[in-house]
Amino acid sequence: IDYANEMGMTGDLALEVEIADDQYSKDLTPGAGNGLLDGGAHIMSGIIGSPNNVAVRDLLNEECIPQLLALTGSPAWGQVADYPWTTGILVPYTVESRVYAAQIAKDFPDGATVSLFYVNNEFGQTYAEAFKDVADEFGLEILGEQTIEATDSNPPTSQVTTIASEGADVVVAVPLGAGCISFLTEM
């Protein structure tokens, strides 16, 4: 932003950044968004999470406020006719799951067994459902599924123990945030 302003990349318009923290809670996103709008914001960008983006999508589109780079890969994005002021930035989780399945099939041409681990929210569930939808197509057998709640800060010890006992060729894991570290540590 500083560079763009210094180089005059937006002509006479000076860019300013205001940050509001919704604490990754969809219930707090509208208040954070309204506070920014009340302060004169003309663009919203970088809202993390599908439910959080949905929480302000109608308001921003009604007000013709660009909702740029929604940080979600939910397949619900891309509804240009209904939400022309909203754009995403991430590959849809359904596409990404298909790519993972295709790569596993390439690495295991005679078929593979898979254990799934995912956070039990829209993010993790969408990945898991998309992966399960294409598993047969790629010769993959899902041995089991383990989940963790998004609010659970404990390491997923019992889930990883179960995954280990399944003896899968591959583990497809979709943890969230700091859960990535605790999952990998447990593995």
Say if CB 67 and CB 85 are below 8 A apart.
yes
Cα dihedral value 7, 11, 14, 20, nearest 10:
-100
Give me the tens of pLDDT residue by residue for the chain, a chain 187 residues long.
999 999 999 999 999 999 999 998 999 999 999 999 999 999 999 999 889 999 999 999 999 999 999 998 887 777 889 999 999 888 999 999 999 999 999 999 999 999 999 999 988 999 999 999 999 999 999 999 999 998 899 999 999 999 999 999 999 999 988 889 999 999 9
Residue 48 contacts by C-beta under 8 Å, 6 or more apart in sequence? 24, 71, 72
**pLDDT for residue 178:** 85
